[in-house]
Chain A
Amino acid sequence: MAGLSFELIALQLFAGLALGAIYVLFAIGLSLIFGMLTVVNFAHGAFYMVGAYVGLYLISIGGNFWICLVAVPIAIGLFGLAVERVLIRPLYGRGIDYPLLLTFGLSYVMVECVRIAFGKTGYPFDTPEVLQGAVDIGVGYFPLYRLFVIGATAVVLLALWLFLEKTSFGLIIRAGARDPQIVRVLGVDVARVWLIVFGIGTAIAGFAGLLAAPLQGVIPEMGGTILAEAFVVTVVGGMGSIGGAVLAGLLVGVVVSMTSLFAPEMAKVSIFALMALVLIVRPQGFFGRAGLMS
């Protein structure tokens, strides 16, 4: 195919970064929960999907997208708190596969509940009016809404970083992740810390679902595909490393985008090829701590 210009390659690179931003947003919640709690949250995609549906519901009863941006993470975060308290907490200290299987089952229950409540058919989710259309970014036109998603991801990352690195509660979370026993001895309620971490992780998942809704509409199965891609991101970045998830998310986006340009039929497999390659060279991923899974 002809027409390969500098502008196209630059635009393609940008499209890759924008796609990567979505992966990052989804994967950091997953990575946060795993890094702190060593819970592999298979229901993460389901929380993402429920986030989109809560947004859909709020808009249908008269809310708008901007209200949803605040309300959805709060609602999904609260739901996450309840799930941690009632279902996950009894499984701490029982090995990594217990919560994995529980959340795997939970994701099926959540998807089925949404199918019952909203039907199997998908719903449209209009892009908010002011974010519609495409803008010139110098090398070509790019959808305004996707630029907004990149910005929103950056804000979430910054807030998360400030929270973990600059607040005293963040300090406790980091300490709790490294050695829960010592933290407990020091008189900190570790159970409460984990509860909040799980809530934050799911809140970000719900937020990501809401942001994805105007890109692809809303359907009960929407969490399934992205979950597979997000696991690639967390594995490549290093299980439990937030910085790794950011780097890997952007890298996966760019790899998909560049493969799409030259060999579109290979795009889907390219991210798994990337994962295989990284795992051969660095089995723990970019910034992963070795031995976290054992």
Chain B
Amino acid sequence: MTNKITKAGSISRRRLLTTASATAALAVSPFRINLLQAEEAPIKIGFPVPLTGPYGAEAQDQVRAGQLAVAQFNDAGGLNGRKAELVVRDDKLNPGEAATRTLELVEKEKVNFVVGSLSAAVQLAINNVTKERGVIFNSISQSDAINEAADFSKFTFHEALNPHMTSGAVGRYAFAKFGKKVAFLTADYAYGHEMVRGFLEVGKEFNIENLGDIRHPLGTTDFSTLLPRLQALKPDILCISNFGRDQQIALKQATDFGVKKSIQIIAPLLSHASRVAAGPQAFEGVIGGCSFYWGIEDKFASTKAFNDAFRKMYDGKLPTDYGALGYGGVRTVLEAVKGAGSVETNRVVAALEALKYDYYKGPQYYRKCDHQSVQSVLVIKSKSKDLRNVSDVFEVLSTEEPNEKYLRSCEALGHKS
């Protein structure tokens, strides 16, 4: 404290003396104990997510599972007794709001790390703040741009899948099976654009014909004026690249319009929370990708352990895909803290880079050049029959194993190595 004040030249001598003597008085008084304890303040993880708005359902799952990772860390004794704490903020799915909240988390809450976001666009706003302040940010939402040299910094990690991996896996599955004529309905922002780019990229291998791409603004509640046009194009596949409530409403209304009768609908990502919120009818038969589905617990012990812990904490509820990302994002950072034996940024960065982990979905690691988590992509189909429980919503059709060949190369992203 004194240090800070002496640095600032404009402080009066009297002020300096007062502060200095106050500090000295504190140093010898019983309050000293408190000061020492304050140094052992909890490890704070800032968690900006869009709790309100069209992605609210998914964001709430991110928080739940993030809390679980923190609880497990604390129950295991923390970092030599030092506990962790999740500081959740609502970014309202707005880049400006997210930047302000993140700045507040860094400056006022003095968070050690930031994990969070649920938007291809908003995470870049958060990343801008954290990279400038030298704070580690682990993004748990899809984005291609965050891997690219222009947005990347050594403090930036990306636990979520990126659109290139996701659309690649779904495209390789669907284009081989359902036909070559493809029409697109796309949310008009970074997420949608990156997904379509990914689909067209992988589509080259299959010689798909792009019949057209209709874009809608984020937060659209009525697709009735867009669907007749898409049907008139007579595609084999309608690829709907949107998320959250937009996805729920688009699929519901496409079902009402009878689109599914002659067209296979695919989505880069099928959100578990959205499927639950929209009901089985709307999602029936739709094929898409995801980073996690609780049903893979037969395959991975880590998934089973994560599911059980989540069930125990939340009255038998099962985790969703975005919930799992919240868990993975927080847990990797906390494990790296343990590994580094410190919260010091550079040591934690090194520990994260060295991590080979399997915490909830099978093996993963952060690629050195862009800190993208190399991981599996699940291709899933929405079920409407024989549902064993409220979370039994998808069937896993295929799994694309973790492999750097499904990522864009470091050079293509503009990284040197």
A216 touches B252 (CB 8 A): yes
A134 touches B282 (CB 8 A): no
Give A131 Cβ to nearest chain B Cβ, in Å: 10
Contact residue among B57, B224, B282 (Cβ-Cβ distance under 8 Å from A146): B224
| A268 to B215 CA separation, bound complex (whole angstroms) | 11
A-B pairs, 4 with minimum CB distance: A124-B279, A134-B258, A260-B225, A143-B256
Contact residue among B229, B252, B258 (Cβ-Cβ distance under 8 Å from A12): B229
A sample of 14 more A-B contacts (CB under 8 A), given A226-B221, A264-B226, is A3-B232, A7-B232, A11-B228, A18-B224, A122-B245, A134-B258, A141-B257, A215-B256, A216-B222, A217-B248, A221-B52, A222-B221, A225-B219, A260-B229
Which chain B residues lie closer than 8 Å to A3 at the CB level?
Answer: 232-234
Which chain A residues lie closer than 8 Å to B225 at the CB level?
Answer: 12, 15-16, 19, 256-257, 260-261, 267
The chain A residues found within 8 Å of chain B, CB to CB, are 1-3, 5, 7-8, 11-12, 15-16, 18-19, 22, 120-124, 126-127, 132-134, 140-143, 145-146, 215-217, 219, 221-222, 225-226, 256-257, 260-261, 264-265, 267-268
- Number of chain B residues whose Cβ lies closer than 8 Å to a Cβ of chain A: 41
| A225 to B258 CA separation, bound complex (whole angstroms) | 26
Which chain A residues lie closer than 8 Å to B222 at the CB level?
Answer: 19, 22, 215-216
Which of B216, B220, B225, B249 has the largest number of chain A CB atoms within 10 A?
A: B225
Give A150 Cβ to nearest chain B Cβ, in Å: 12
Ordered by A's residue number, 28 sampled pairs between the chains whose C-beta atoms are within 8 Å are A1-B233, A2-B233, A3-B233, A3-B234, A8-B229, A11-B228, A19-B222, A19-B224, A19-B225, A22-B222, A120-B51, A124-B281, A127-B256, A132-B256, A145-B256, A146-B224, A146-B256, A215-B249, A215-B252, A216-B249, A217-B252, A257-B224, A257-B225, A260-B226, A260-B229, A261-B225, A265-B217, A268-B220
**A259 to B, closest residue via Cβ:** B225
| A283 to B224 CA separation, bound complex (whole angstroms) | 31
| A132 to B214 CA separation, bound complex (whole angstroms) | 26
Which chain A residues lie closer than 8 Å to B228 at the CB level?
Answer: 8, 11-12, 15, 140
Which chain A residues lie closer than 8 Å to B249 at the CB level?
Answer: 215-217
Which chain A residues lie closer than 8 Å to B277 at the CB level?
Answer: 121-124, 217
Q: A16-B225, A19-B222, A264-B226 are in contact. Are A126 and B258 (CB under 8 A)?
A: no
Contact residue among A134, A256, A257, A264 (Cβ-Cβ distance under 8 Å from B214): A264
**B224 to A, closest residue via Cβ:** A15
Give B294 Cβ to nearest chain A Cβ, in Å: 18
Interface: B56 (CB within 8 A) = yes
| A145 to B256 CA separation, bound complex (whole angstroms) | 8
Give A134 Cβ to nearest chain B Cβ, in Å: 4
Interface: B302 (CB within 8 A) = no
A216 touches B221 (CB 8 A): yes
Give A117 Cβ to nearest chain B Cβ, in Å: 16
Which chain B residues lie closer than 8 Å to A261 at the CB level?
Answer: 225, 229
A126 touches B279 (CB 8 A): yes
Which chain A residues lie closer than 8 Å to B221 at the CB level?
Answer: 216, 222, 225-226
Give A138 Cβ to nearest chain B Cβ, in Å: 13
